Amino acid sequence: MTVQNSNEILRKILAAMGSVPPQVYAPGDDTFLMVDAVATLSVEGKNVLDVGTGTGILGLYCALCGAHVTAADIDEVAIRHTADAAQLLGVELKLVVSDLFSNIHSQFDLVLFNPPYLPSEGAHDGTVDGGSGGRDLIVRFLEQLPAHLQKDGSAFLLVSSLNNPNTLRKSYYNFKFSTVAKRALFFEDLEVLRVRLRNDLSI
Ligand SMILES: C[S@@+](CC[C@H](N)C(=O)[O-])C[C@H]1O[C@@H](n2cnc3c(N)ncnc32)[C@H](O)[C@@H]1O
C-alpha cells in the first residue's frame, strides 16, 4: 500500500465519520500510528478483528482494503457510530458490543487493539483509562488473545512509554513481540507491537 493510497482511504473514512459523539474516542496520534502499522501489511481477504474500535477507523480502513472485518467495542454508542460510517462508505463489517473478547467466538489472521492505556491516576474516561499502571486492559487482552488467533496470526497492539511496555516483554514468554511502528511525542513514546505466539514461529 502506497502512502498516497493509505492517505486517500483515511480521508474517505474521516469524511464519512463526520463529528464524533463526545463519549467516543476521536482519532489521535495513537490511532494514526496504528494505521501506519496496518498499512505495512496486505490485509485483502484476511479475517481481521478490531478490538475497542471506537469510531471504527481501523476496522473501516481494513474493510476498504478488502479484509473481512469484525469490529468490537464495549460502548454501544461507538458501535452505532461505526455502523453509520460503514453504511456511508458502502462496506460491510460485523459489529459486536463486547468486553474485549467476551462476545467474540472465532479466530483471526490479525487482531488490532489500540487500548485505553493511560495509568488510572491520569485518565479521565473509559476510552483512555488503562487501569493500574495503564496495563490492566492490555494484560486481559494478552491473556485472552491466543484463543482468537489463527495459526500464524498476529496482533498489533499500541503501547506507550507511559505504561512501561518492557514489563510485558518480560512477563509473556509465550509471545514474540516486535516493533512495527513508533513515534516520539513530547510527553510519551508510542509503539505498535506485533504480537505472535512463539509456538507458531519456525525460528
Ligand atoms: C484509545 S480508544 C481507541 C479507539 C480506536 N480504535 C482508535 O484507534 O481510535 C480505546 C477504545 O477501547 C474501548 N474499550 C474500553 N474498554 C474496553 C473493553 N473492556 N472492551 C472493549 N473495548 C473497550 C473504548 O470504548 C474505546 O473505544
In eight-state DSSP terms, residue 117 is: -
At residue 84 the predicted structure's pLDDT band, cuts being 50, 70 and 90, is very high
Burial (CB count within 10 angstroms: exposed 0-12, middle 13-18, buried 19+), residue 184:
exposed
At residue 133 the predicted structure's pLDDT band, cuts being 50, 70 and 90, is confident
At residue 153 the predicted structure's pLDDT band, cuts being 50, 70 and 90, is very high
Whether 82 is in the pocket of ligand 1, judged by its Cβ within 6 Å, is no
Whether 192 is in the pocket of ligand 1, judged by its Cβ within 6 Å, is no
Write out the three cell numbers for 148: 482468537
User: Residue 94 above 70 pLDDT?
Assistant: yes
**pTM (2 d.p.):** 0.95
Q: What is the pLDDT of residue 127?
A: 82
Whether 52 is in the pocket of ligand 1, judged by its Cβ within 6 Å, is yes
Residue with CA at minimum distance from ligand 1 atom 8: 31
Q: What is the pLDDT of residue 130?
A: 76
Q: What is the pLDDT of residue 139?
A: 94
At residue 125 the predicted structure's pLDDT band, cuts being 50, 70 and 90, is confident
Lowest-confidence pick of 11-15, 59-63, 122-126, 127-131: 122-126
Q: What is the pLDDT of residue 202?
A: 60
Q: Which residues contact 196 (CB under 8 A, 6 or more apart)?
A: 153, 154, 155, 175, 176, 178
Q: Which atom of ligand 1 is nearest to the CA of 78?
A: 27
User: Residue 4 above 80 pLDDT?
Assistant: no
SS3 26: coil
* Probe residue for ligand 1, chosen from 53, 55, 160 as the CB with the greatest number of ligand atoms within 8 Å: 53
* Probe residue for ligand 1, chosen from 24, 36, 74 as the CB with the greatest number of ligand atoms within 8 Å: 74
Whether 136 is in the pocket of ligand 1, judged by its Cβ within 6 Å, is no
